[in-house]
A and B are shown apart, each in its own frame.
Chain A
């Protein structure tokens, strides 16, 4: 079946350093979404990418969808303590269902 792999599993950075998490799907995706989950919380939607090669920015966050629509990345510039949490990518095979296959997540710790 479809698998979505995410690396690294954990990342510890000093506040102000950059952070990147990578996501790879075993199959071509219709779209990819990114979610953030704070400790003890539930996943919260960050963004959706649909087009091949698409790049979107949200303040210090940059999201990229690969040309083959099988991989994606999230880059955070100059991390802050408020960025702490687990970041999940979630791949959609079809826009008809909205069903998402989540990666294992990357847990980000930021040292002040």
Chain B
């Protein structure tokens, strides 16, 4: 399967714990995005990579959130000291650098903070 894959699909964690999610984009895609989606809302932009460089991070994103994309391939999103308000679906997407910037989304990681 050459789509965007995310791991894990589901994560339940206790408040205050750290969690890390992984995203493997489509191999030839230079751009990688993280979005967060809560029930009844559209995906909310978190951060964006072009190759290994993190070019933009949402101002709404707490310092507890950090993302990396070493070597411009897979990416990880870490949330430190999780709070109940962090419960959401975390979506990763990737796209080509040129042409139609169609974003291919992964299935997402559903985080529940208890």
Contact = CB atoms under 8 A, between A and B. Distances in A.
Contacts of B45: 99-102
B40 A48 contact: no
Q: How large is the interface on A (under 10, 10 to 19, 20 to 34, 35 or more residues)?
A: 20 to 34
Interface residues of B, number: 25
A97 B91 contact: no
A92 B95 CA distance: 13
Task: Tell me which of B33, B50, B102, B107 has the highest count of chain A C-beta atoms within 10 A of its own C-beta.
Answer: B102
Contacts of B21: none
A95 interface: yes
A90 interface: yes
B42 A44 contact: no
Interface of B: 31, 33, 35, 40-45, 48, 50, 55-56, 59, 91, 95, 100-108
